[in-house]
Every structure is written in C-alpha cells, then in structure tokens.
C-alpha cells in the first residue's frame, strides 16, 4: 500500500507516520530501507507492525531524524555511520572506481608471452552467455591490446565454467580444476558491508560456490563480522553482484592490491 494511503488510514500526517516507524531492516543501505509502522499508532493493544519500503530521500531523513541517527558534517545533514557516529554513512561506492583488470582462470605466470590474442576465450565465454571476458583495448596499452580481461564482475562475474581454459590453443590459460583457480582475492569493505554495521546478511557467502569454506563469521554486538579467507578465495567475483549494497561492499582485488590494503 502507498505511504499516503497508509497515513490517511491512520489519521496522521506523513511526518507523524514516519516518526512512529521502527527500523526492520536496512538492506541495500538507503535504497532498500524497510520500515515497520504500527498498524494503529498509539493504540494500547499489542503493536502490530506493517512493513513497507521507504524509497523517497526526504522520507528517509525524517525517519532517521526521529530515531536520532542524523548528524551534520560540513554543514550538511546526513545519516550517521554506526561505527563512527559523528560521521556520515557512505551508502554507495561507484564500482567503476574500485575495479581491477583480472585475468581469466588458469592464467599462467608468463600469460602475456603465451597469449596470441586469438580471442577464442572471449568467444567461448560469450558463447556460454557469461560475457565475463572482454578484450583489452588501447587504453590498457599496446602490450596488452587484444588480450582477455575480466573486470566487470558486478554485472558479469566468472562462473568458473572453465570453458576458456579448454579452448585456449597456446596454454596461456591452463586447464585446471575450479578449486585451483586464483584470479584474485575478494575483500569486504567494513564501512559499507551491512553485516558489519549492526546487521546480518551473508548474501556474498550464499552466492559463493565454495560458501562457508571461504568465509568466516564473528558474531558481536555490531553485527556479524564477515570476512573472506584470502587463501581459499578463487577471485571469481560471484559474490560481487550478490551484495545488496549499492556498488557492492565486496570487491575482488589482484593479490598485490589486496596485500597493499590489508
């Protein structure tokens, strides 16, 4: 039911209605905030909360303000970060700003010496309908031009079908098992991850083909701290689009970048 019809039914203004709300879940940070409002606010009977989605930015601010979660940073009002209550919560991080070119699975140490830029891996991946591989263009430099790149994990993660490794004619991509793949390492950003910020989620772990083997969870008062075990992660990126946070709170990094950040 629409918010205006609900407020009408309760005889409250939109503001009063929002102020009576309780937070049910804030999956996807601000964009999927599910709020419960007592079916008949103020009544003495047992409260029954009807959940509804808060999509309007102004409504969200009224709701958070009533909960005391709004702070001012650089003269601008924003929702507080539960881990740093005087700072604003960062809801999204553009994926484009934090993605790295990875090689397809089975890439050998001397990959660029062996790859003849035939594009067969690219065609195999596209033929399978996964579109995880694109061919490097001029902006990647002449030395890499035409070689395969996997870097759009948020829309096209590698499914570990291993077809590209079977078709490569030079052995630049070696036929290995899924368990041996090492494309990169997934790292969760605790500032963005819902599970780190007073919630539970595990969407990334559920999407990971290796599930609980690769993830570890620590339960505490701030939420379920979720971590990827670096040595066990294959870097396929299937966890990236599963994350409900806009821009994804989990990104796959090449080993050097992972080591620089951890």
Binding site for ligand SF4 (CB under 6 A): 104-105, 124-125, 128, 130, 132-133, 150, 158-164, 186, 188, 193-195, 201-204, 208, 210, 214, 226, 228, 233-239, 242-243, 245, 249-250, 252
Q: In whole angstroms, how close is the CB of 28 to ligand SF4 at the nearest point? A: 9
Q: Which is nearer to ligand SF4, 62 or 228 (CB)?
A: 228
DSSP line for 186-226: EEE-TTT-TTTTTB---HHHHHSTTHHHHEEEEEETTEEEE
> Least distance in Å: CB of 254 to ligand SF4?
12
Residue 199: strand pairing partners: 223
> In Å, how far are 80, 98, 110, 208 from 240, measured between CA atoms?
25, 12, 28, 9
Q: How far apart are CA 185 and CA 201, in angstroms?
A: 20
Nearer to ligand SF4, 19 or 198 (CB): 198
Nearer to ligand SF4, 19 or 92 (CB): 92
Q: Which is nearer to ligand SF4, 42 or 209 (CB)?
A: 209
Q: Smallest gap, in angstroms, from Cβ of residue 37 to ligand SF4?
A: 25
The whole-angstrom separation of Cα 132 and Cα 33 is 31
Nearer to ligand SF4, 21 or 104 (CB): 104
Minimum CB separation of residue 104 from ligand SF4 in Å reads: 4
Give ∠ CA 216-218-219 in degrees, rounded to 5: 140
Minimum CB separation of residue 33 from ligand SF4 in Å reads: 14
Closest by Cα among 201, 224, 192 to 89: 192
Q: Which is nearer to ligand SF4, 69 or 210 (CB)?
A: 210
Distances (CA, A) of 243 to 101, 251, 261: 20, 10, 20
Reference 240, options 164, 196, 189; nearest CA is 189
Least separation in angstroms between residue 211's CB and ligand SF4 is 8
């Amino acid at each position: 039911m629409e918010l205006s019809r609900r407020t009408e039914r309760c005889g409250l203004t939109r503001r009063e209605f929002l102020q009576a709300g309780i937070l049910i879940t804030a999956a996807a940070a601000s964009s999927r905030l599910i709020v419960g409002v007592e079916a008949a606010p103020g009544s003495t009977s047992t409260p029954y909360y009807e959940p509804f989605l808060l999509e309007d930015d102004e409504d969200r601010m009224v709701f958070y303000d009533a909960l005391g979660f709004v702070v001012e940073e650089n003269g601008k009002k924003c929702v507080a970060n539960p881990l740093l209550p005087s700072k604003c919560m960062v809801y999204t991080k553009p994926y484009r700003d934090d993605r790295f070119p990875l090689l397809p699975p089975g890439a050998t140490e001397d990959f660029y010496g062996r790859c003849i830029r035939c594009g067969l891996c690219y065609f195999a991946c596209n033929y399978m309908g996964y579109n995880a591989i694109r061919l490097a263009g001029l902006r990647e430099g002449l030395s890499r031009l035409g070689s395969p790149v996997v870097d759009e994990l948020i829309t096209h993660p590698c499914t570990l079908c291993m077809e590209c490794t079977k078709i490569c004619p030079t052995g630049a991509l070696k036929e290995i098992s899924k368990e041996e793949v090492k494309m990169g390492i997934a790292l969760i950003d605790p500032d963005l991850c819902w599970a780190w910020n007073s919630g539970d989620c595990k969407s990334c772990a559920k999407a990971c083909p290796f599930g609980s083997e690769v993830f570890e969870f620590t339960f505490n008062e701030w939420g379920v701290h979720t971590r990827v075990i670096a040595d066990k992660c294959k870097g396929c990126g299937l966890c990236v689009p599963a994350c409900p946070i806009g821009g994804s709170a989990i990104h796959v990094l090449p080993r050097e970048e992972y080591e620089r950040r951890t």
